[in-house]
Amino acid sequence: MNTRIYNARLLTMDGNTDVIENGEVLIKGNTILYAGTAEGAVEYLRTVTEPVVWNRDIDANGNLVMPGFKNAHTHSGMTFLRSAADDMKLDAWLTQQIFPREALLTPDDIYIASKLAVLEYLTSGVTAVCEMYLAPDRIADAMEDSGMRCVQCGGMNNFSQSIELQREWFDKLNKKDSLNSYRLGIHAEYTTSKELLEETAALAKELKAPVYLHNSETEKEVQECKERYNGLTPTEALDEMGMFEYGGTFFHGVHVTDHDMEIMKKHNIAVVTNPASNLKLASGIAPIEKYMQNGITLGIGTDGPASNNCLDMFREMFLVTGLGKVRENDASAIDAAEVLKMAAVGGAHAIGLTDCDALAAGKKADIIMLDMHAPNMQPINNIVKNVVYSGSKSNVLLTMIDGKILYEKGEFNIGEDPEKIYHDVQAIIDRMR
């Protein structure tokens, strides 16, 4: 499948956020051959010895073509719990509503619930996710079968998964197919014994791998860690164990100290912020401006659909800047262009992907097209700010992953009927009532 997209407003995000008018993208199989001006495309094609046949020749009609968003922290399989339990205190929510139902899930439930999430990602222009949930094998199947790019990370803790399983998944899922990959990970410091944490640090050193985890999401979690570890924050305690010799990625990172930030800089640790979830669970507002000042790599995630409840990168982008502004008491904090970079580029880097972060020759064709002929995108004063401040799922015209168009003008192409997926996910939660 080779695709040419022409007559586009083009945001390559290859080092900048400048918009190219009358841009063009040439895609061969799953790889971008060329992204730039229309004139440059003509030049490029002159240099090609073997002519490319375009299976699709798409007139973008002046719409915006850009790299897809990376949902850099989610628990896709939790779709079955969407709106099943809201407006509750965190503890009661987890212990009375979430855990008892998750205990009843089968791997096949997780397979289909993950596919429901994929449908939603596609409507929101998401072309890669970083996933932490139960049954990694079946999640990888769901992602491969539906065509979603997926980085999974371990969610090991005292009750689930193990060092052995992580080693197994690390080997297997990193070789499975071109869409799936796997990272070492623990659920969080507060759910994992010191012994398991130390074993994880040893495994990270052995595999020369970064470690992914929920970290410093709530104040309570930080406080309780200090009680367990002689006044050390989670970041300090794990650093002392040698956990981050090959880096890592923190999900949430809401409550961090200056010293935590030093450790993160030293070990090149990335942060994935989840602002909607942090509001809905009353966890707080992350210090994004400060992370930026410290040069920390930043990505954006929706968290799972039970704690958000939607998987909408537009909402998250607005929140990153809006919450940052009110936190800093400064309307000029966190420019929209920086937020767009987090959503498309930083998120990729935070989850260890470097070949789908921008539109450039040799990169994977993970591409979205956003409708500019829509009232919320008019007039066109500044396209980047339109996308971040005014953009919506309703603007997503096309989502392409690995060169395949999986969503176009409201129609899905993931090899399964959406209505069947809705039906099957409904059956999971109905069974548990």
Site for its own copies in 350-409 (CB under 8 A): 373-376, 378-383, 385-386, 389-394, 396
Indicate the SS3 state at residue 35: strand
DSSP state letters, 68-88 = PEEEEEE-GGGGGGTTTS-S-
Q: Which stretch binds its own copies (CB under 8 A): 19-27, 46-54, 193-201, 325-333?
A: 325-333
Q: What residues contact residue 373 under an 8 Å CB cut-off, 6+ apart? A: 61, 62, 63
Residue 87 binds to its own copies (criterion: CB under 8 A): yes
Cβ closest to its own copies, residue 51 vs residue 375: 375
Q: How far, in Å, CA of 285 to CA of 118, rounded?
A: 27
Between 356 and 414, name the residue whose CB sits nearer to its own copies: 414
Residues 55-84 that bind its own copies (CB under 8 A): 79-84
Q: Is the Cβ of residue 6 or residue 93 nearer to its own copies in the bound state?
A: 93
The C-alpha atoms of residue 422 and residue 424 are separated, in whole angstroms, by: 6
Please give the C-alpha separations between residue 388 and each of 87, 149, 252, in angstroms, as whole numbers.
27, 23, 20
157 close to 191: Cβ distance less than 8 angstroms: yes
Choice between 38 and 310, CB closer to its own copies: 310
Nearer Cβ to its own copies (53/282): 282
Strand, helix or coil at 169? helix
The answer to whether 397 and 373 have CB atoms below 8 angstroms apart is: no
List 323, 343, 344, 368, residue binding its own copies (CB under 8 A): 323
Give me the least distance between CB of 23 and its own copies, in Å please.
20
Q: Would you count residue 426 as binding its own copies (CB under 8 A)?
A: yes
Identity of residue 172: K
Task: Give the span between the Cα atoms of 99 and 111, in whole angstroms.
Answer: 18
- Per rule CB under 8 A, is residue 187 in the interface with its own copies? no
> For its own copies, which is the closer residue by CB, 76 or 297?
76
Among 190, 310, 360, 404, binds its own copies (CB under 8 A): 310
Closest distance of CB 79 from its own copies, Å:
7
For residues 252-281, which are near its own copies according to CB under 8 A?
276, 278-281
- Residue 318 beta carbon to its own copies: minimum distance, rounded to whole angstroms: 7
Given 86, 171, 240, 417, the residue binding its own copies (CB under 8 A): 86
Contact 23, 8 (CB under 8 A): yes
Q: Could you give the CA distance from residue 365 to residue 357 in angstroms, rounded to a whole number?
A: 10
